[in-house]
Structure 1
Amino acid sequence: MHYVYILYSPSTDRYYIGETAFVSGRLEQHNSGFYKNSVTKIASDWEMFLEIECIDRTQALRLERFIKQQKSRKFIERLKSEPKIVDDLLLRFK
């Protein structure tokens, strides 16, 4: 099982989109500065905004790429407030 996750930092008011097989430890890694060259190093208050379960890594990578290409804060926020969008995207990238 793979996941697309979206983190939010209140101090920077920014979102971060990533993909992983292990969501539970990923948030802690981002907050601890484990990823030295990552955008997430700018803050240590990241919180889980949204977690999307995918059937495999290929689907997760395609979904992650699609969300990033939107370059839209409003789109990211709609993913959480309108779960049907996520369902439609998962079907699209199946």
Structure 2
Amino acid sequence: MYTVYALYSADFDKLYIGYTSNLEQRLKSHNELGKKDWTKRYRPWILVHSESFQDKTSAIRREKELKTGRGREFLRKLIPKN
């Protein structure tokens, strides 16, 4: 099982889109463990969207869709307003 996810950094108004086979560990990596990652600069991250897929190919396809202009527009509508 694979999960496509979108993270949002409210402090920097940044979106990050990725996929993983272990969402809990990946979120921990983005927010705590990562030392050299691009996402380290924009902490803290909140999960704004996730979708599950049976196979890696489908997850990668969806990740690419979400990284398009239309996909990012869809994700921006999910961001909580403060």
Q: TM over 0.5: same fold?
A: yes
Query: Unaligned 5+ residue runs, structure 1?
Result: 82-94
Residues matched between the structures, number: 79
Where does residue 13 of structure 1 map in the other structure?
A: 13
Moved over 3 A (4+): none
* Structure with greater helix share of residues: 1
TM-score, normalising length from structure 1? 0.72
Structure 2 length normalisation: TM-score? 0.81
Which structure 2 residue ranges, 5 or more long, are not aligned? none
Structure 2 counterparts to residues 1-80 of structure 1, below 5 A: 1-32=1-32, 34=34, 36=36, 38-70=37-69, 73-78=72-77, 80=78
- CA-based RMSD of the aligned residues comes to 2.1
Q: Greater relative contact order: 1 or 2 (C-alpha under 8 angstroms, separation 6 or more)?
A: 2
Identity of aligned residues (%): 34
Q: CA 1:4/1:47 → structure 2, altered by over 3 Å: closer, same or farther?
A: same
Give the deviation of 1:42 after TM superposition.
1.4
